[in-house]
Amino acid sequence: MTTNTVFKSFAFLIVSVFTTVSFAQTSTSISKSLGLYAFPPDGKDAAAQDADEMACFNWAKEQTGYDPLNPTQVQAAQVDKSADGTAVVGAAKGAAAGAAIGSISGDMGKGAAYGAIIGGISGRRAKKIGDQKQQQQANQSAAAAEQNMAADYKKAFSVCMESKGYTVK
């Protein structure tokens, strides 16, 4: 063998090792993509584990109706932001308070007018804040529903894998 042939053989060996290591590090299993670790029972090789994971992936999807590759998006209920009279109620309360204060100062009409304006603004503002809180709660409920569906899928996948003898954490 010449030095050039030995060098080429050695270079090929190095490239083969790095390619194999790189492929092994980038390939992931279904269980790992779900954030789970599945330890196979004795005698199961990687190909058998991949087949079992695919079977459990499909079974869990059928049982839960949830597909982790195409997760269900839960839409939050939209809050009714239409006028509901809170500004009018606020204006009436403000007018009453303004009239009471205005009667002390001698101009009940102006006091009622100022009070109505301030009460209307504060009533509208209170409605807006209430609507924002309700929308935030609806958004949180939708996010929680999505998380629950994903958790149910993981449970179903884990049960299936455990029934095949795997230890799943």
What DSSP letter does each residue of the chain carry, written as one string? --HHHHHHHHHHHHHHHHHHHHHHHH---HHHHTT--EEPPTT--HHHHHHHHHHHHHHHHHHH---TTSPPPPPPPPP--S--SHHHHHHHHHHHHHHHHHHHHT-HHHHHHHHHHHHHHHHHHHHHHHHHHHHHHHHHHHHHHHHHHHHHHHHHHHHHHHHTT-EE-
Please compute the mean of the pLDDT values over residues 93-101 and round it to a whole number.
66
pLDDT above 80 (res 75): yes
pLDDT of 35 above 50? yes
Residue 157: per-residue pLDDT = 96
Share of the chain above pLDDT 70, in %: 63
What mean pLDDT is reported for the chain? Answer: 78
Does 20 score more than 90 pLDDT? no
pLDDT for residue 6 is more than 60: no
Query: Is pLDDT of 96 > 60?
Result: yes
pLDDT reading at 68 higher than 90: yes
Residue 21 — pLDDT band, cuts 50, 70, 90? Answer: very low
Q: Which residue has the higher pLDDT, 90 or 139?
A: 139
Taking residues 99-108, report their average pLDDT: 66
